[in-house]
Amino acid sequence: MAPTGPKKYSRGEVSCPNVSSAALRLIALQQAGGVPGKLARLLEALHSTVNVGFEIEEVRVVIDSIIGVKQGGLLGPQLFIFHICAIMQARRVDHGQEYEQCRFRTRMDGPVCSRKYQRADLRYDLQRGFVRLDGEFGGGLKQGHGGVLEFRVMDSEYADDTGLVFGDRATAARTAPLVNAHFARWGMEVHEKKPADTKVKTLVLFCAAPPSEYRGPSTFDGAYLSDIKLPSGNVVPVVDRAKYLDVGSMLGRDGTDRLDVEARIAAATRAFGSLSTLVFKSTSVSPAAKREAYVALVLSILLYRCEGWSLTAALWGKLRSFHHRCARSMCRVTMWHVREHRITTASVLKVLGLRNVETYVCRRQLQWAGHVARMGPGRLPRQLLSSWCGRPRPVGRPEMTFGATLEAALTFAGVEVEGWMWSWHRIGRVGGRWSTGFGM
């Protein structure tokens, strides 16, 4: 709680005058973002100017000080996340109308696969709810019974990292210096690549359109892919792959999950190899103990962030191959044993008590889908779950989508997809039934 007046502590007095305007603005943004009032008042007290008076041998001295958060304290990381959130909220207010943002359309219903071209007639406002694009109130429309909503995606935050979305290179080059200046106003510094740097944290990932959209797909119709120069003389590299924030997910130029799946398999392979001699290939460890160690230490690495994967047949094959190879290794079965003794993968998994990899992946994907389905219509993940782009579909078969992957997961769980794509999200809102209704 903020002190209400001077307080004396062992011959010293402490008084807290008004906080600075920047701190008040930060605290106001944090309160608007849902930070509890008690925590906001604590921040106000910690970051206020404190007059500390000392009396030593009848000589009184008053110094100005700021308590702040102790370095290495448990409150530091949480406060930094609030600080980043406040910075981005201020950026949306100050710079949200300076460039054209990426627009999507959605409906609060069940289908998550591709739809026919539909015009948007509604948007969602946090204060007013559903609002028509002409500014009038949506007429009490409820979730699942409204029109087509239009929403924009400007940025995405995870922990203390931020991802910004731009429609073209010109917008990214024009906005990069403004983003750096905005963070500098809040006492933050965006990492820029200097001439002597070999590694950099700030990257620009060029995401290409489908090949059918280009006359020359190999060069992306002569797209300019050199580094973006900044007024300071530094640059922001333009890359073809990047690690997305702190979650460790790999993003590629083609927008698929191939790089991420390959990176997870490589990390899981290292984890399995480091424990192979002592645990997984040891004859003194029981199959049940090997199973528990494999599920806890290897599968958790392999399937980290798999909830949002869009898996093609080729990616499924890579996951199965890794899972089966690890199972044979734990049973000390080589490919020679498989050929000579006709050992099947199902029998190896049965000895260990493991399920096939589809079960572990689909279970996680359905749990995440049910979690998103229970979100309110104003949440970005819920809007993106059933969203589509407001333009005609390009020529050719589209890339594997999350909607098609979710449909496959429902089919694998024994759910009749025909007719369920309109009602699965209602079942998903009932957490207990969703988590226990499928026999996986």
Q: Tell me whether residue 208 is in a domain.
A: yes
Q: What distance in Å separates the CA atoms of residue 42 and residue 46, rounded to the nearest whole number?
A: 6
Q: Which of 208, 167, 308, 311 is nearest to 248 (CA)?
A: 308
Indicate if 294 and 344 belong to the same structural domain. Answer: yes
Question: Is 410 among the domain residues?
Answer: no
320 & 340 share domain = yes
Give 323-353 as a 3 state SS string: HHHHHHHHCCCCHHHHHHHCCCHHHHHHHHC
Is residue 246 domain-shared with residue 262, that is, in the same domain?
A: no
Q: Which of 319, 339, 354 is the last residue of a domain?
A: 354
Among 193, 226, 252, which residue terminates a domain? 252
Count Cβ neighbours within 10 Å for each residue of 361-380 and write b for 16 or more, e otherwise: bbbbbbebbbbbbeeebeee
Give me the amino acid identity at 225. L
The predicted pLDDT at position 121 comes to 52
Retrieve residue 86's tokens: 């406040």
Query: Which residue from 289, 187, 180 is spatially nearest to 235, judged by alpha carbons?
Result: 180
**Count of the separate structural domains present in the chain:** 3
Do 224 and 207 fall into the same domain?
A: yes
**Per the domain annotation, does 134 fall within a domain?**
no
Confirm whether 113 is domain-assigned.
Answer: yes
Q: Are residues 205 and 310 in the same domain?
A: no
Same domain, 284 and 334: yes
Same domain (yes/no): 204, 272: no
Q: Name the helix (H) or strand (E) containing 424.
A: helix 424-428
Identify whether residues 328 and 343 lie together within a single domain.
yes
- Domain final residue, candidates 354, 388, 415: 354
Would you write out the chain's pLDDT as a tens digit for each of its 440 residues? 333 333 322 232 323 333 344 455 555 655 555 666 776 676 666 666 667 777 877 788 887 766 665 666 666 677 777 778 888 888 888 887 777 778 888 877 767 765 654 555 555 454 455 555 554 433 333 333 446 777 888 888 877 778 888 888 888 999 999 999 998 888 788 889 998 888 888 889 998 888 888 888 888 888 888 999 999 899 999 998 888 755 678 888 888 899 999 999 999 999 999 999 999 999 999 999 999 999 999 999 999 989 989 999 999 999 999 999 999 999 999 999 999 999 999 999 999 999 999 999 999 998 888 888 888 878 888 888 888 877 777 777 777 888 888 888 888 887 766 554 556 666 655 555 565 545 56
Q: What percent of the chain is helix, strand and coil (3-state, nearest 5)?
A: 45, 15, 40
Task: Give the C-alpha separation, 426 to 404, whole Å.
Answer: 19
d(CA 178, CA 175): 5
> Whole-angstrom Cα distance, residue 430 to residue 423?
12
Flag whether 412 is in a domain.
no
Q: How far apart are CA 398 and CA 209, in angstroms?
A: 11
Classify residue 360: in a domain, yes or no: no
Whose CA is closest to 228, among 203, 260, 262, 256? 203
Q: Are residues 189 and 320 in the same domain?
A: no
pLDDT at res. 117:
47
Asked if the structure places residue 435 within a domain, the reply is no
Q: Are 240 and 252 in contact (CB under 8 A)?
A: yes
Same domain, 242 and 271: no
Residue 423 lies in a domain: no
Query: 180, exposed or middle or buried, with CB in 10 Å at 0-12, 13-18, 19+?
Result: buried
Q: Which domain holds residue 246?
A: 101-126+145-252
pLDDT of residue 151: 81
Task: Say if residue 47 is in the same domain as residue 62.
Answer: yes
Contact 106, 387 (CB under 8 A): yes
The SS3 call for residue 164 is strand
Amino acid at 243: K
Task: Please report the pLDDT score of residue 141 as a whole number.
Answer: 36
Could you give the CA distance from residue 14 to residue 302 in angstroms, rounded to a whole number? 54
Q: Using CA atoms, how far apart are residues 373 and 386, in angstroms rounded to an integer?
A: 10
Which pLDDT value is given to residue 440?
62
Using DSSP, state whether 42 is helix, strand or coil: helix
Q: Are residues 22 and 157 in the same domain?
A: no
Q: Is residue 66 left, alpha or beta, with left meaning phi > 0 and alpha meaning psi from -120 to 50?
A: beta
User: Which uninterrupted H or E stretch holds 252?
Assistant: strand 249-252
The whole-angstrom separation of Cα 287 and Cα 268 is 19
Whole-structure pTM value:
0.76
Q: Show the tokens assigned to 320.
A: 């199965």
What is the structure's pLDDT at 331? 94
Taking CA atoms, 81 is separated from 35, 43, 77, 261, 355, in Å, by 11, 13, 6, 28, 38
